[in-house]
């Protein structure tokens, strides 16, 4: 009979949320002279981020990297 540990055991070493693509949800927004500030939080974990939407820009730029969560 084999007593080798299963991968299931290793998967429970950490209590952190499993890696996932953050599902950002806007918590609040503020109009500033630079553009629209968006405070977003992941609905799947506690990660949060601040985005700045610059008028005329194609895509919002992340002011901060995601922090919290993973
Ligand atoms: Zn997340």
Q: Judge whether 69 lies within some domain.
A: yes
Give the separation between CA 41 and CA 53, rounded to whole angstroms. Answer: 16
Domain count of the chain?
1
Q: Judge whether 3 lies within some domain.
A: no
Q: How far is CA 19 from CA 37, 47, 68, in A?
A: 26, 12, 13
- Name residues with Cβ closer than 5 Å to ligand 1, which is an ion: 22, 42, 44-45, 47, 69
The model's pTM is 0.58
Contacts of 39 (CB under 8 A, 6+ apart): 26, 27, 28, 29, 30, 48, 49, 50
- The residue among 68 and 37 whose pLDDT is bigger is 37
Q: Judge whether 15 lies within some domain.
A: no
Domain that holds residue 29: 20-70
Q: Judge whether 30 lies within some domain.
A: yes
Give the Å distance between the CA of 25 and the centre of ligand 1.
10
Give the Å distance between the CA of 60 and the centre of ligand 1.
18
pLDDT digits (tens, 9 = 90+) for 13-65: 556 668 899 999 999 999 999 899 999 999 999 899 999 998 887 776 777 78
Give the separation between CA 64 and CA 62, rounded to whole angstroms. Answer: 5
Q: Judge whether 9 lies within some domain.
A: no
Q: Judge whether 36 lies within some domain.
A: yes
């Amino acid at each position: 009979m084999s007593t080798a540990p299963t991968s299931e055991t290793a998967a429970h070493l950490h209590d952190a949320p499993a890696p996932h693509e953050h599902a950002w949800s806007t918590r609040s927004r503020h109009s500033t002279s630079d553009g629209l500030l968006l405070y977003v939080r992941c609905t799947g974990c506690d990660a949060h981020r601040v985005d700045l939407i610059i008028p005329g820009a194609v895509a919002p730029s992340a002011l901060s990297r995601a922090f919290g969560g993973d």
